Structure formats: structure tokens, C-alpha cells
Chain A
Amino acid sequence: MISVDPFEKMVAEVQKHFPKLTAIKKNGKTTKLVGDIDICGNDGEYFGTFKILIELPNAFPLAVPKVYEISHKIKRIEDRHMYQNGECCLDMEHELQFMAGKEIKLSDFILTKVYPFLANQIYFESIGKFAGEEYEHGFDGIRQFYKEKLHLGDPSIILKILDSIMHKRIQGRNDPCCCGSNKKLKNCHLHQIEYLSSILMDQIQKDYIEFDNFSKKGLTS
């Protein structure tokens, strides 16, 4: 029986935008894409080319692809948001997982995450800093993300929300919010809870531990 690549259409769509990427298949299924991405500016001016490798995890499109810059044009250091093995830190992991929760369209993923990341690296190389803001490294970046994206700054509230998600205690829109405000959920942290509920439980648990440690440190200092 001829096996049909479930990602064939998706790859064709990618190649419309990024014609130099080619699919690598295993047992008839695309598992990787490799090739050049040419970076152009807003008016089409060409700025540079990177060779990249995109690994599709088994759970794709419900899991986030890993992207490696393999032309060694970007320094593999934390300040450039690169790991030693060439993996690119494209965005806050929560944002990528949120995207995967809705099923990732590969061409959108490359257009909105990979392409701007690479453009930003060219910008950094020329100007000496990134074009926009960047998250702090490690847990500081996660706190920043909770504060700026989710408008959650108080660790005690964050812990209550994360705990409720972990233990599946989130109730209806008209029930009291788990933060303890006595407001209905729909008038309190509904959007934040919806967002956090769509990311990986591993991440929620990890965030809980880190916020818990942070909170305890704050109490002891």
C-alpha cells in the first residue's frame, strides 16, 4: 500500500513561501524540513540567508517543532537566544505551546516565529541590539511574561490559578474565580485561565514550582 504523507499539503504551502526548504521523510511521513530561508525587509530588500533545520515532533501539529540554525551564522550564546546545539529560542515557550494547542500550521509558524527571529538576528548583527524587546532569561522572563501578557504580577494569585488548573478545579464562567476575589470567573481571570489551560501541563507544573520557590524566597528574605 502506498503511504500518503499527512503533511504533504502543509509542506507544499510552506514551499510557496519558502521555496528553498525541502522535506525529509521517514516511512513516507515528513519529519524534518531543511534548507535556506532568505530574509527580506518590508519592501522586499534582501538582507541575508540562513540554513535551518526544522524537526517535527511525533505529536506535530499539536506539539512545537524545534528549529536549528545550521549555517553557524548566529553565535550560539544565551544573549543571542541560541543554544549550543544551534536550537533557536524563538519565543516564550508558553506562546509556542499555545500555538500548538490550536494545531500549528507550519507556514504560519515559520512566517510568524522563525522568519522574524532570523530577521532579528540580522538586526542584532548590524545594530548591536535586538529590534524590539526581549524576555529576560530563565524564570525572570517567565515572571515578565505572566505580568505583561497575562497581567498577573502577584505570585500568590498565580499560584492559586496554576494550582486550580493542575487539579482541574476550574468551574463554570459564573462560579467564583479561583483567585479568591469573590468575583465571578467571567469577570475576573477567565482569559488568563483559558490561555494557561491550553498549554502543556508539564509547563504549568514547572511554573508552579518556580513561582512557589520564588514566593517562599520572598517571604524569607
Chain B
Amino acid sequence: MDIYNDYVSRIKAAMTSGETRKHELNLEGIANYNDEINKAFSYNTFRKITPEEKLLPSMQEFASSLNVNANLNQKLGEHPDFVHLKQTKGIEKHYIVSVFIDIKRSTYLFKKYPPETVLIITNTIQRAAIHTCLVFGGYIQRLHGDGLFVYFGRKGMRQDDAVKSALSAASTFTYFVKNDLKNLFNEQGIEAIFTRTGIDFGYDEDVVWALAGIGDISEITTYSLHTSLASKMQAYAESNGIVAGDHIKNHSDQRYFSPVCSRTLKEEDRYIFRIPDRNFNYTQYDFQWMNFLKSLEFIATDLNGILRVKNLSSLSKPSITSNLQPVAVQNRPYNRGS
């Protein structure tokens, strides 16, 4: 997807220079190895061309096309609507959507690349994930290895909108990993990484916001079955899959959800959590994220089934005469008259 072009180019630069370094190391030894790091795509070079305080240009264009100002000044574990609880030590009840995105197989990168290259690759992928969530209004709660734990929703926001934002962010990022990153990894002859994502929604009465930890070793977090279930459901997702709970399905278009057990053919996978004496059976669903993504307003699906982001101003204006004409010319309209 075009919005990730600048992320892909940085990862590619790191991968390419990483291979050079390996080659140099074998032929000429350690001294040249370090020289080559500096000449090629070092972490310092990466940091210079990838300033932390900005989205990468292709993502910024996307944010602008959605009229969104991503807040890059967020702090981990400090949802702005509940950060005051750090001082008051009180609690509040408020709904939240919890999203766990796990990135798998990045360890394999160490087989081929030196640690500094792996740092650039994984850091860029993680930035892509963070930036995607920020553009869709997420609040990054925690980093998990290469993955993320993100909240969607805030005071005054409609619950349906929070669910849609969470699903949009997770779907967009999964598309990036499944397509853009996979293609790049295949090009470089590396086993592709993949994501597994879990998403769930807890209602006001089921979510307690409070301070966890002590002093500086603390964060504002949610105490909710549904945050725990989001994390748990992620393990049931297939490669580049998203699993969501009953409540997410209830706030979304139901046609995008199918019970996990219908994929695994194991009845025990139907419910992610049960309390038999209360007759509480909570179903987990495979979320058909690709179909959902295709339905979003900012996405167009071209005639080859490839997803295109609409109205990116960074893209050169496509030529009507050379690009649309071959499609349009197939039409020869007729009017039978009034």
C-alpha cells in the first residue's frame, strides 16, 4: 500500500547494506566491516532520515488525506483521558477497545543480518505499526518485543467509532505486513514475518481504569476481562490474522466475522472464555479483515484486486489520457432518446 512506501524503502536500504557488510566481513575482516557500517545504512543514518517526531512522508500524506493530525507526543501507558488517575490514585469506569498486535518471526532476521540491521528493520516495522495506530486515533499502551498493545476509544467517542478505528488500524497494518513486507522479504530471500492480532471491547461497567505499579514504575491501565481476552485471542489468530471477541462483532458489520472453530474445526476453540454457572460463553471470531478493508471509504480496489489508497496528494496526478483511457474506451454509449 502506498502509505508504507517510505517504511519499505528504509527496510530495504537496511537489508541491502546488511548484505554488503556480511560480504565485506567474509572477505576483508572486522576492520572493514565497521567501516562499511558507517558508509552504508547505519542506525545513525537511519535516525537522521527518520526523525522520531514525524510520521514518514507517505504516512503523513495518508493522515492528511483523512484530515487527521496524529499525536506523536503521546506517552506510553498514559491515555490522556485517564492520566489524572496517576495523581488521584482513583479509579474510573469507561469502555475501551484493546488491541494486541504481535509480530512473529523477527528473530529469524538475526540469521542473516547483523544486530544493527535487525534494529533498523524491526524499529521501522514497529514505527509503521505505531504510526498506523496513531493515524487511526489509537493510544499506545505498551510495546511488547516488536509488537504493540494499543487502546482505541476515549471519552465522548461513540463506541462504534472506536471499534471501527481499531479494526481499520489493525487491518491496514496487517495488509502492510502481508503484502508490502512479504514481497520485500521474499525479494531478499528471507522467510517473511507475520502478525497475529487480538481485539476486544469492554463496556463501561466492565472496564476499570487505574494506576498499575508504583511511583515511576507505573502506568495507567485497564482492569478488564476484555483486555485480557484480546491478548489471549491473539494466540488463536492464524498468520496475518485478526481474532476478535463477541463485543467487537456486536459493534461492527457481522458479515466480516466467522467463529474461530469453523476454521480450526475444534469445538473447544469456539469460546475464548466461559463461566458455566453464569451461562457466560464468550465467542472468538476470525475477522475477515481484507474484506473489511476493501469496504472502507479511503480504500479503492483496482481491477486486479489490489488495494489503493484514495486521494494521496504525494502521488503524482494520474494521467486521464494514458491511464484511464484504455478502460473508458471500452464503453461506447448510446442513448435511445426521449
Contact = CB atoms under 8 A, between A and B. Distances in A.
Which residue among A41, A93, A132, A138 has the maximum number of chain B CB atoms within 10 Å of its CB? A41
Interface stretch (A14-22, A55-63, A150-158, A186-194): A14-22
Contacts of B318: 41, 43, 45-47
B142 interface: no
Given A19-B295, A20-B294, A40-B300, A89 B334 contact: yes
A145 B332 CA distance: 11
For the side of the interface on A, what is the size category? 35 or more
A132 B301 contact: no
Given A19-B294, A19-B295, A40-B302, A78 B338 contact: yes
A117 B308 contact: no
Nearest to B311: A46
Contact of A117 (B294, B300, B323, B331): B331
B258 to A, nearest CB: 14
Nearest to A43: B323
Contacts of B338: 78, 83
A175 interface: no
Contacts, number: 144
Given A17-B301, A45-B308, A131 B333 contact: no
A16 B334 contact: no
B214 interface: no
A134 B301 contact: no
B303 A81 contact: no
B275 interface: no
B337 A138 contact: yes
Contacts of A19: 291, 294-295, 301
B328 A130 contact: yes
A182 interface: no
Interface of A: 15-20, 38-47, 49, 78, 81, 83, 89-93, 111-113, 115-117, 119-120, 122-123, 126-127, 130-135, 137-139, 141, 145
30 contacts: A19-B294, A20-B294, A38-B299, A38-B308, A41-B318, A41-B326, A41-B327, A44-B302, A45-B318, A45-B323, A46-B310, A46-B311, A46-B318, A47-B320, A49-B300, A78-B335, A78-B338, A90-B333, A115-B303, A116-B327, A119-B327, A120-B331, A126-B320, A131-B328, A132-B331, A132-B332, A134-B333, A135-B333, A135-B334, A137-B334
